[in-house]
Structure 1
Amino acid sequence: MKKLFVMLAAVALSACAAQAPVPVKGGFAKGADVGWLPQMEATGYKFYNRQGQEQDAIAILKDHGIDTIRLRTWVNPSDDRASGHNSRDETVAMAVRAQQAGMRIMIDFHYSDSWADPQQQKKPAAWEGHPFPQLLDDVYGYTHDVMSALKRAGVTPEWVQVGNETATGMIYPEGHTDNWPQLAQLINKGYDAIKAVSPTSKVILHVDRGNDNMRFRTWFDNAQRHGAKYDVIGLSYYPYWLDGSPDYTASIDDLGRNLNDMVARYGKEVMVVEVGGEDDKVQNTHDMLVAVQRKVKAVPDHKGLGVIYWEPQGARSWSKYKLSAWGEDGKPSKALEAFLVE
């Protein structure tokens, strides 16, 4: 009986996904990474709209101009509230839900069991001890599996990241930037698996500190030299974490120059795939978001694709994270209204 129930549930999910509105692709993307959302809901966190009425978080985001949802996926994550979840099945379920709400979808492969960023790029535990040729198969097989699960659920991501903030590479130590020939091979296995399942999805390579032109030139010169395949250059921009002044006005022009240089130098599209500002400096964060969108929109030939806020709904009262765009009252702060500005 249990097996029959699971089968019926799967059929229902497929039917629901098939009937979901398919978002119109194209146009400037205004996005939110909401990987914490299922955990927040599971622990009883309540979201409220500007009128103080309890409402679905994705609906609230949409009401603030958000049209894109970014979702991370981890290989074999724990069930830790803040640093776990985001498995294949959870990511697919969230992607279906977001698409049903009319959202465009971005998938972010971390190639780890938890956070991957410039401080940590730990390979999945199940891949430990594998020789490099097997690691290449691991990347291809895992990527293909997740993409195929999305396809079965009726979701075609508009964008897919191979790695997250890979300034020093991914899947250490084999994929460290100390060994670019191997890193490029790992990247290309991810790229090939994505395109095999979803040829229309644009593949993003993502580096942090989007205002640092030399950082980006060095990284993407190496990517080009070693034949790494991709479609879009993704940037993070968090003034709070930058050396020197945390005020965005000190680095926003550098971000704009770097965006333009990336397009001119490599002929690729660009996108700010992570941005965030301090939740207790609402006006400053609002103004920063407006300025970032204007810089991306100003990229020539419409090659600036969009801006995505990282965990805007991840209220500090739940996450302890100070760069959300949500208040202690469970409502979005006015900073998020920056996405309503044209």
Structure 2
Amino acid sequence: MKKATLISLFSALLVLVSCSTSKDTSDSKVEQTGFAKGADVGWLPQMEATGYKFYDTDGSQKDCLQLLKDRGINTIRLRVWVNPSNDKASGHCSPEETVVMAVRAQKLGMRIMIDFHYSDSWADPAKQNKPAAWAAHSFQDLLTDVYNHTYAVLTLLKNAGVTPEWVQVGNEIPGGMLWPEGSTDNFAQLAQLLNKGYDAVKAIDSKIKVIVHLDEGNKNEKFRWFFDKATANNVKYDVIGMSYYPYWLKSDYKASIADLENNLKDMASRYNKEVMVVEVGGDYTLVENTRDMLTATIKAVKNVPNNKGLGVIYWEPEGEKSWSNYQLNAWLSNGKPSPALDSFKEN
């Protein structure tokens, strides 16, 4: 599908966004400097749609984004899927919803990261399923799909007054993306797909930083393998993004935090790139431990020399267990933020 056709599909949305904005969103442009303290809040519009209410420590009902901002969070990360379902937990996050959320976050002074999964639902190390609309496409078609989808979504955002500071091309891709064509078993093809995403981002704004993101940020050997291959295949990117979840490593963060810091430093020096923990989380029942883990993670990223450690982003802190069934949220059962999030304000 041609770029212009993709963009025209969303023209009605742009009209709605412009009509609903009481003033030019350029008035709320965010100064893009300093350490990013973030939250991925892809579930937020669904939570609100199902009637979930958010409260401050004094019991007053408040906007979730404001509650996060009050705790030192200055960055919002939003995933985007191609043609998602309406499923409560595994749907939504369409281009249209992404634009609405990004405008809303920017109005509160938040910086924006967009995370392209290039799928209709979750993409991660265990699954990198092509969108249904792309399933029968040739590899050459997939190259065009990645470029056009990336360009169209970012054009929607730009026309609504939002230019993201960072864009992820793929989500947790140690095995590649858009399987099987974009598997790391054929790294040359994966490189072409990643570069199409990069080129689309830079065509919108050359200042947007492109992130390539892997899981298990404490595993240096894994990162060296992938990014050595990326270098050999001339992959273009600006930032190495990492996930860090001690919970899934089945050990306390103290057993792996030094490895995370060493890997961050090694990636920055070995490839001359900036680095960032774009996903982190801890068990919501272990408030103090999660708070300490966040403090240690922030310190590890800040310890990267030459200010190449850009920030830390908590994945779905607002996804309270009774709504999401997600153990690594950072919210209390009474609808209030977990004190663990105060680590962002304190550090």
TM-score range, shorter chain: over 0.9
Distance 1:193 1:146 in 2: 10
**Please, which of 267, 271, 278 is the counterpart of residue 266 of structure 1?**
271
Quickly say closer, same or farther: Cα 1:57–1:108, change in 2 above 3 A: same
**Please, which of 134, 159, 179 is the counterpart of residue 152 of structure 1?**
159
Quickly say closer, same or farther: Cα 1:125–1:246, change in 2 above 3 A: same
Deviations 1:76-112 (A, max 9, x none): 0000000000000000100000000100000000000
The offset of 1:24, in angstroms, is: 1.1
Partner of 1:46: 53
**Please, which of 90, 96, 100 is the counterpart of residue 89 of structure 1?**
96
Segments of 4+ moved more than 3 angstroms: 5-11, 13-17
The offset of 1:8, in angstroms, is: 6.3
Partner of 1:281: 286
Partner of 2:341: 336
Task: Mark the runs of 5 or more structure 1 residues left unpaired by the alignment.
Answer: none
Distance 1:66 1:132 in 2: 40
Distance 1:187 1:7 in 2: 28
Distance 1:186 1:19 in 2: 32
Partner of 2:4: none
Q: Does 1:189 align with 2:196?
A: yes
Show the 5 A alignment for 1:1-342: 9-13=16-20, 16-18=23-25, 20-242=27-249, 245-342=250-347
2:318·2:330 contact (CA, 8 Å) conserved in 1?
A: yes
Q: Partner amino acid for 1:186? A: L
Partner of 1:70, secondary structure, is strand
The offset of 1:7, in angstroms, is: 8.4
1:78·1:113 contact (CA, 8 Å) conserved in 2?
A: yes
Quickly say closer, same or farther: Cα 1:17–1:123, change in 2 above 3 A: farther
Deviations 1:288-328 (A, max 9, x none): 00000000001000000000000000000100000000000
2:276·2:301 contact (CA, 8 Å) conserved in 1?
A: yes
Quickly say closer, same or farther: Cα 1:16–1:122, change in 2 above 3 A: farther
Partner of 2:143, secondary structure, is helix
Q: Partner amino acid for 1:268? A: K
Matched positions, count: 336
Quickly say closer, same or farther: Cα 1:180–1:8, change in 2 above 3 A: closer
Partner of 1:338, secondary structure, is helix
1:136·1:189 contact (CA, 8 Å) conserved in 2?
A: yes
Greater shift in the superposed pair: 231-240 or 16-25 = 16-25
Task: Mark the runs of 5 or more structure 2 residues left unpaired by the alignment.
Answer: 1-11
Quickly say closer, same or farther: Cα 1:219–1:90, change in 2 above 3 A: same
Partner of 2:28, secondary structure, is coil
Distance 2:17 2:309 in 1: 38
Distance 1:17 1:86 in 2: 24
